[in-house]
Amino acid sequence: MVNSISVLALFAHPDDAEFLCSGTLAHLAAGGARVHIATMSAGDCGSTTLPASKIAGIRQREAREAASLIGARYHCLKGKDLLIFYDRVHLNKVMELVRQVCPSIVFTHSPSDYMVDHETVSRLAQTACFGAMAPNYKTGIRRPAPALSDVPHLYYADAFGRRDILGNKIASGLYVDISKTLERKEQMLACHKSQQAWLKAQQEIPETLTTMREMAQEVGKCIGFRWAEGFRQHLGQGFPSNSLLKRVLGKLAR
């Protein structure tokens, strides 16, 4: 079943997917799924010392390296940090990507997260998953991909810190055991070397791998796994009501 599906992890910036869902992506890739990791921006504001064009190039290389560790393909939609808006320009990019990838499963940010870029990408992903079936929505691409035949299964990764913007705890609805893929997750996150100094200066995160492990351990304790990633499935009208992720991962998901 896994080797017949395509998976899209759509996030705002390079390293978001690695931090939030790469353990699960590694499971899916190992099972034969075609995995795509996409970022809306190249992370052009992710440095206090380098100009935007320089850090953007570095971060795209880091993202491609991380994706390659699980045989995934990396896409950058060329948006700008802090200028990711819910508008036609950005929606066209996301819609076209979803149609090109034709995913059975889509992962994205929590609808409520500490940064508006994350929340906006979450909304864009929701609309693209729902609207990719509508052939009358035109993306303006010269040679557009065809409309989808089915709405993908959409999963929201845990928010950073597992809290909403008011500090309230957000409970996961589905947990994935990443005990066997934690090392690969660490390797993928470690590819993003350029962010160590930035996150320490901007968000007082002393070491990203330690922070990631602490979150994975906290999520695991909620369900009885040593290390885990948490998700919530979008179950609104028109979206699939069954959990494809749980079905393909079996005992690894609860």
Please say whether the dihedral angle defined by the alpha carbons of residues 71, 76, 77 and 80, taken in this order, is positive or negative: positive
Tell me what the mean pLDDT of segment 138-151 comes to: 95
Specify whether domain 2-252 bears CATH 3.40.50.10320.
Answer: yes
Average pLDDT, the chain: 94
The pLDDT score that the predictor gives to residue 206 is: 63
* 66 contact partners, CB below 8 Å, separation of at least 6: 14, 15, 18, 22, 37, 74, 188, 189, 191, 192
- What is the chain's percent helix, strand, coil content, to nearest 5? 45, 15, 40
| CA distance linking residue 74 with residue 9, whole number of Å | 10
The pLDDT score that the predictor gives to residue 1 is: 61
- Record the pTM: 0.95
| CA distance linking residue 75 with residue 172, whole number of Å | 27
Name the nearest CA neighbour of 9 among 106, 148, 154, 120: 106
Judged on CB neighbours under 10 Å (0-12, 13-18, 19+), 123 is middle
Given a cut of 80, is residue 226 above it in pLDDT? Answer: yes
- Are 199 and 205 within 8 A, CB to CB? yes
Tell me what the mean pLDDT of segment 146-154 comes to: 97
Task: Give the tokens for residue 248.
Answer: 């393909």
For residue 80, the SS3 value is: coil
Q: 164-183 pLDDT, tens per residue?
A: 999 999 999 999 999 999 99
Q: Identify each DSSP E strand in the chain by its residue range.
A: 6-11, 34-41, 73-79, 105-108, 153-157, 174-177, 228-233
Given pLDDT bands bounded at 50, 70 and 90, which one contains residue 198? low
Name the nearest CA neighbour of 219 among 167, 178, 168, 164: 178
Q: 91-128 pLDDT, tens per residue?
A: 999 999 999 999 999 999 999 999 999 999 999 999 99
User: What amino acid occupies position 177?
Assistant: D
The pLDDT score that the predictor gives to residue 237 is: 96
